[in-house]
Structure 1
């Protein structure tokens, strides 16, 4: 149960003063639905009103606070012209300028002859000073209560800064004094204040330096968030380790046959990963291992060797893929390899119905089917195994932790879990997303792979690109043509892809196919089969081809609006070509002028095909939430911590979490109690339930 002291923070934002139902929706869109979300929504800038010169000394293009006498009101000669209020002090005069003004309101707010304090940006217009729509207007007495340094928050349309400011103040007042969960020596070494004090200061920055992610108040809060993340993952790991395991030790008889039948030798990193996995499976604790490999680094073979080890030990193995295309492809790749050892692999997708499905499930439950590949269909309640020894989960980003646990729970005895991801993840992100797992990395490409020649061209050279594509098709090549997803609307991306499909269809006839996210699985598979076979030469696609599709004859990829894609995403797409013996080319079409980030992305992509280096660069350019696509995937999304900046704090948080659980595994000591509070504060309640 969440501690009572935190209840005020987890109330709906609508309970704060000045926040009605309509405004609550806007605040929710901006920060989140509860009071605590406003606490994590920190200022992005500040307005410093301390500069208070005489009018004659005011510098243009700077925020100034002026004490003035109101001399007169000048109504506009036309509706398009502004209303002017002439003001002065002993040194000179300035006009306050208001567009679409309410004359009555102005005469009440700025009565002629009165002394007022106005604050806003000073401008030069036709040789004279003016201030358009001052941010603040008040009597000298009223100004005494106004903060001279004001925080500026990221905003959303329709929400007034004043309303948000009032809600923020009320939210901060609700922040209670909480017991200190940080190690006292660590806190002293960093010179950090307590949680509540740091929170208050982070929302009231005194100067520009206080906005830096490494400023003491923000660093303290970021560490708190990272500690909650690392502690929760360490607790998941500990609870998995507490579950009884069993040693699965195969005799290598099946693996030897498959190795002998492979047309290539395994790379050094494949052999190392297989060694690590088999050692985990042989131990008496449950395996929880992440296999990270770049595009085309040979993860599937490593997974097969692990699955064969389970079968040799008398158990079953399952491979869970995120999409039907991918499940079918794994099945097609693995079946001939496993056949060399006489091992049958079943396939289960959402499309399997009726008697064939029932027969498959009966064989699985009886133990007559040693291996199976499938989609989410494997997670359905009526799917049972005689003895599931190993669950392999491909493309982890698409599955949350709960699905990982769901499949491993299918085993009536201890089930080892291995997760494969083809998205190279920077080390810092590996810690936050998979801190509960051991990690194996495949860093080499199989022999014979040629690097892809990557070039960038402005979009107005599209006719040259089409001509080059025609030449390549004439030489027997196949071509991917990728159109970007337009965030705002699904129909937008569909229109772009459909339009390109039509234009290319006019030139190349029926040899052009189209796949996009809204096609039914069967339609998508039919087009993909045509592209892999002889029917289609050019496949126009939105990013649905990013993961796992394998067509060795495809040696050309054209990516339109390459500037709209993230770096890791471009790398994933490019990984669809260069899979055969022929040299491959990737053409990045961009709409000039390129922004700095887009230019850096394209240059990195041209310079290297090392997915891990690309992932680190992508993190630097875009930040963590974007790189992992956390919004879709249930991976942790940080509100305060920025992994591109706080990498060292993350490592410290990980060490601290491990140390705490070594000393106090059930969090029952004085610091343990405070850490439970931290977990509830950052909504890691599920971890507390493991205690």
Structure 2
């Protein structure tokens, strides 16, 4: 191929060919030369610095030393056979040790010669040594002293290594690729941004990220490429938000009417918190602009999101529109319906429930009332998106725990009216601010960060296995007060059998400690038929059983105000956000609630951090920040499948300042040039035209 560019298929790069191309595609998703150049090193070996032997210590990742090989001899017998060299500079001596290729090394290494060696120093019998160092003969005639660069280290896999694509092999390909395309690399950011933020030019940054001459150059390349990546993510998100606002007219809710006011003045069970008032005000503003609202409400467990959703739906009804609320499971939908029905009574508006279990007769009534407009609010599961569910005039949609729904499912609700309804998306999974800005950057975000008055914070305690009898004693005390207890076992797919054994062994133990007929136990696990699971859940909800033992995560949002104790077995095997969600199953009534984290005696550093965080704080947002730092963004709240976070170089836990700078820069650009029609923004417009698959609000799962 004569012209090689960033979009040239990888097989046409010199040194690749069909077989290597195939393994690069399968293992690393590298399809073009551009993809290869965006496969960045994960660390660098610093060969710019020389150490004296006296300066070496075992904490160094690697060190380069100039000295003389003064002795070489074999030691040990058979399997413990090794080659030992004595290496000296003007500050001292050290040992070099090889366990492989001994006869070849004996022939090729020259005793008395000067070498540049590189390796990891370690301490053996009180003396510094180095195993299998890289050796390079020192030639004083050469102008440059050895390999004075920062050497890139790339992640590889066993399959790649079979094709000589270890870190050295990938390094060679990067060198060939850069030699082929460097002269044709174009700047990707407008000149005024490069100048304003003192960014390294794009071609130089691509060269320096793979082959930096020193730390300063590497830092310049990192700053440039991280800014660019986060900038373009924000450009796409904010452009989509802008297009949605322009393209999609919204129903205008211009009055606060009788139903809203009656509910607010006579039915509200407790005063709204300032956070709830703020969010309702934001929703009222959005629904009165004439543009379609897309707002995400984040609120910790028990923060009162449902009341905010209800008051927003009443706003729609007062303005002559219907509203609906979709929940991921029947248990949750039924619970929402019962809760809202209780709040509304029989006289404020007509509210119905539609799930898979709704009878044919009741369905017919619902369909009829939806179409003639006499049904104001419909609560349901996926049943709401069936084609035969037709609204007369749907104006407001609430989606609960939205990451549990697919793109197409949400889009179907969107298409239930000629003018799309306003969308309110709710999640009880607190999302760190940086992640929210990247994942949901094209939604407006509201946060309910206060709990209603009168809620007592849940007390969280950590016990290890040898304290179990104390836990049983505590359970008896709470049950004697008429309270109920959850006990949750981890369920990890690879070891379902093992986990069920844990559950069964734990259950036997429990049944001995809490025998019939005085105590009754419900059991729920993933292997049970749905009908049996629901039956057991309902027994617990109705208070017919005092203890609920489960292997699966208790449904998000399931509300049993009488349950005051949550015991999590093997708590170290759960992620932080999961532990926080489980803890939120208790503390829903006025009584003091407790979360007991049971673990083994030996905890990993990460396991200990998770448990200590849970004991220290009930703040879901603080917990989410720790979780992000521990696990990285890919694992949190289904973000992997969103495709937004396939970041090549930026890291949301470390690059928050760059993210804020990038987002604010994009906001400023759109303020000054909403259509990107100015000549200096032509590069940005071209980028958006090439990547117009943009991330729209309903593409986020």
Once residues 670 and 498 of structure 1 are traced to their aligned partners in structure 2, the CA distance between those partners, rounded to angstroms, is: 70
Q: What's the CA shift string for 1:179-200, capped at 9, x where partnerless?
A: 5444544433432112232233
**Higher alpha-carbon deviation: 81-90 or 18-27:** 18-27
Q: Look up the match of 1:274.
A: 280
2:694 to 660, 677, 686: 686
1:557-636 paired onto structure 2 within 5 Å: 557-592=566-601, 598-620=607-629, 622-632=631-641, 636=645
Relative distance call for 1:163 and 1:466 in structure 2 (3 A) is: farther
1:192-271 paired onto structure 2 within 5 Å: 192-206=199-213, 215-242=219-246, 243-249=248-254, 252-259=257-264, 260-271=266-277
Secondary structure, aligned partner of 2:227: helix
Q: Cα distance, 1:24 vs. partner?
A: 5.9
1:86, 1:95 within 8 Å by CA — same for their partners in 2? yes
Relative distance call for 1:537 and 1:13 in structure 2 (3 A) is: farther
Once residues 273 and 38 of structure 1 are traced to their aligned partners in structure 2, the CA distance between those partners, rounded to angstroms, is: 45
Relative distance call for 1:241 and 1:498 in structure 2 (3 A) is: farther
2:64, 2:116 within 8 Å by CA — same for their partners in 1? no
Relative distance call for 1:125 and 1:244 in structure 2 (3 A) is: closer
Once residues 550 and 535 of structure 1 are traced to their aligned partners in structure 2, the CA distance between those partners, rounded to angstroms, is: 15
Q: Cα distance, 1:532 vs. partner?
A: 0.8
Matched, 1:456 2:462: yes
Relative distance call for 1:342 and 1:132 in structure 2 (3 A) is: same
Aligned CA RMSD, in angstroms, stands at 4.1
1:295, 1:422 within 8 Å by CA — same for their partners in 2? yes
2:524 to 515, 529, 535: 515
Q: What's the CA shift string for 1:284-306, capped at 9, x where partnerless?
A: 11112222222111111111121
Q: What's the CA shift string for 1:505-544, capped at 9, x where partnerless?
A: 4433573333345555434322221221233322233462
Q: Look up the match of 1:330.
A: 336
Relative distance call for 1:328 and 1:104 in structure 2 (3 A) is: farther
Q: Look up the match of 1:468.
A: 474
Q: Cα distance, 1:555 vs. partner?
A: 0.1
2:167 to 161, 171, 176: 161
1:356-367 paired onto structure 2 within 5 Å: 360-361=366-367, 363-367=369-373
Secondary structure, aligned partner of 1:685: coil
Relative distance call for 1:300 and 1:13 in structure 2 (3 A) is: farther
Once residues 406 and 185 of structure 2 are traced to their aligned partners in structure 1, the CA distance between those partners, rounded to angstroms, is: 31
1:648 to 657, 670, 673: 657
TM-score (norm 1): 0.84
1:639-678 paired onto structure 2 within 5 Å: 639-676=648-685, 678=687
2:67, 2:115 within 8 Å by CA — same for their partners in 1? yes
Relative distance call for 1:71 and 1:671 in structure 2 (3 A) is: same
Q: Cα distance, 1:222 vs. partner?
A: 1.7
Q: Look up the match of 2:133.
A: 134
1:120, 1:131 within 8 Å by CA — same for their partners in 2? yes
Secondary structure, aligned partner of 2:333: helix
Relative distance call for 1:655 and 1:405 in structure 2 (3 A) is: farther
Matched, 1:479 2:493: no
Matched, 1:47 2:36: no
Q: What's the CA shift string for 1:144-175, capped at 9, x where partnerless?
A: 88564323345556643323433444555566
Q: Look up the match of 2:197.
A: 190
Once residues 352 and 206 of structure 1 are traced to their aligned partners in structure 2, the CA distance between those partners, rounded to angstroms, is: 69
2:120, 2:131 within 8 Å by CA — same for their partners in 1? yes
Matched, 1:64 2:73: no
Q: Cα distance, 1:453 vs. partner?
A: 1.7
Q: What's the CA shift string for 1:201-243, capped at 9, x where partnerless?
A: 23334556777xxx33222222212212211111221221122
1:63-102 paired onto structure 2 within 5 Å: 63-65=63-65, 74=74, 77-79=77-79, 81-84=80-83, 86=85, 96-99=96-99, 101-102=100-101
Once residues 441 and 150 of structure 1 are traced to their aligned partners in structure 2, the CA distance between those partners, rounded to angstroms, is: 45
Relative distance call for 1:521 and 1:203 in structure 2 (3 A) is: farther
Secondary structure, aligned partner of 1:656: helix
Once residues 12 and 464 of structure 2 are traced to their aligned partners in structure 1, the CA distance between those partners, rounded to angstroms, is: 49
Once residues 215 and 466 of structure 2 are traced to their aligned partners in structure 1, the CA distance between those partners, rounded to angstroms, is: 43
Q: Cα distance, 1:552 vs. partner?
A: 0.5
1:337-486 paired onto structure 2 within 5 Å: 337-349=343-355, 360-361=366-367, 363-399=369-405, 404-486=410-492
**Higher alpha-carbon deviation: 397-406 or 315-324:** 397-406
2:74, 2:81 within 8 Å by CA — same for their partners in 1? no
Q: Cα distance, 1:579 vs. partner?
A: 0.6
1:255, 1:341 within 8 Å by CA — same for their partners in 2? no
Q: Cα distance, 1:602 vs. partner?
A: 4.0
1:250, 1:310 within 8 Å by CA — same for their partners in 2? no
Secondary structure, aligned partner of 2:514: helix
Q: What's the CA shift string for 1:34-89, capped at 9, x where partnerless?
A: 665554454343323455578x768464633456569766375222x033164667
Secondary structure, aligned partner of 1:290: strand
Once residues 502 and 214 of structure 2 are traced to their aligned partners in structure 1, the CA distance between those partners, rounded to angstroms, is: 46
Q: Look up the match of 2:150.
A: 149
2:553, 2:582 within 8 Å by CA — same for their partners in 1? no
Relative distance call for 1:386 and 1:48 in structure 2 (3 A) is: same
Once residues 497 and 175 of structure 1 are traced to their aligned partners in structure 2, the CA distance between those partners, rounded to angstroms, is: 59
1:387, 1:413 within 8 Å by CA — same for their partners in 2? no
Q: Cα distance, 1:635 vs. partner?
A: 5.3
Secondary structure, aligned partner of 2:523: strand
Relative distance call for 1:606 and 1:94 in structure 2 (3 A) is: closer
Q: What's the CA shift string for 1:552-585, capped at 9, x where partnerless?
A: 0110011233344444433332221111121111
Relative distance call for 1:37 and 1:597 in structure 2 (3 A) is: farther
Once residues 33 and 503 of structure 1 are traced to their aligned partners in structure 2, the CA distance between those partners, rounded to angstroms, is: 56
Structure 1: segments with no counterpart, 5+ residues? none
**Higher alpha-carbon deviation: 396-405 or 262-271:** 396-405
Relative distance call for 1:102 and 1:440 in structure 2 (3 A) is: closer
Relative distance call for 1:555 and 1:171 in structure 2 (3 A) is: farther
TM-score (norm 2): 0.83
Matched, 1:285 2:319: no
1:514, 1:527 within 8 Å by CA — same for their partners in 2? yes
Once residues 518 and 34 of structure 1 are traced to their aligned partners in structure 2, the CA distance between those partners, rounded to angstroms, is: 45
1:289, 1:437 within 8 Å by CA — same for their partners in 2? yes
Once residues 208 and 487 of structure 1 are traced to their aligned partners in structure 2, the CA distance between those partners, rounded to angstroms, is: 44
Structure 2: segments with no counterpart, 5+ residues? none
Once residues 13 and 488 of structure 1 are traced to their aligned partners in structure 2, the CA distance between those partners, rounded to angstroms, is: 37
Q: What's the CA shift string for 1:598-624, capped at 9, x where partnerless?
A: 555444443443333444454455544
Once residues 11 and 536 of structure 2 are traced to their aligned partners in structure 1, the CA distance between those partners, rounded to angstroms, is: 48
Relative distance call for 1:135 and 1:593 in structure 2 (3 A) is: farther
2:190, 2:684 within 8 Å by CA — same for their partners in 1? no
Once residues 174 and 574 of structure 2 are traced to their aligned partners in structure 1, the CA distance between those partners, rounded to angstroms, is: 35
